[in-house]
Amino acid sequence: MRRHHYRRLAKDPAALDMTTFLNLMVALIPFLLVTAVFSRITVVDLSLPSATSAAAPSEPGFRVEVIVREAGLELTNGRSVIARIPRAGGAYDLDTLATLVLSLKRDHPDENGASVLLEPDVAYDHLIQVMDVVRSAELPAEGETPPTRVALFTDISIGDAP
């Protein structure tokens, strides 16, 4: 039997057409860059009680507590109410709270702990606003110096209002 030998035809390797892929990249990269979120994320360290922390109870010292209620804000020292700040026009009076917290920091410069206690129906945004006021304040400008931001009570704990 005779074998037929066919000569194989020399074929050029297939060329990849990159035009479609490049068109996709030209459209996709600017879209991803425009939709990317370029924002600053702030992390707040909170002091949360743990179930295993069984330290010996000590005499409670001074601790700032801000109770956020539907009717307004209450500023306490842990034992007694220092000030009640009612809501004005549906909004909390954060400027008055900032003034009171700043005066408390001047009276107790070594204290850093504070608690923000909320009633169940208080919005999350109000919690954040109150925490910002308790954590730091902006001192007004004197002369030509710009206003400065000072830390007040930076160790903030959150909880339910009594």
Span 125-157, pLDDT tens digits: 999 999 999 998 888 777 777 888 888 988 888
Residues of the chain with pLDDT under 70: 1-10, 37-60
Q: What is the pLDDT of residues 20-32, one digit of tens each?
A: 889 999 999 888 8
For residue 14, give the DSSP letter: P
The ranges assigned to domains in the chain are 64-160
User: How far is residue 143's CA from residue 59's CA, in Å, rounded to a whole number?
Assistant: 44
Copy the structure tokens of residue 150.
């000072």
pLDDT score for 6: 64
- pTM, rounded to two decimals: 0.63
Strand positions, DSSP E, the chain: 64-68, 72-76, 81-86, 113-118, 136-139, 148-151, 155-160
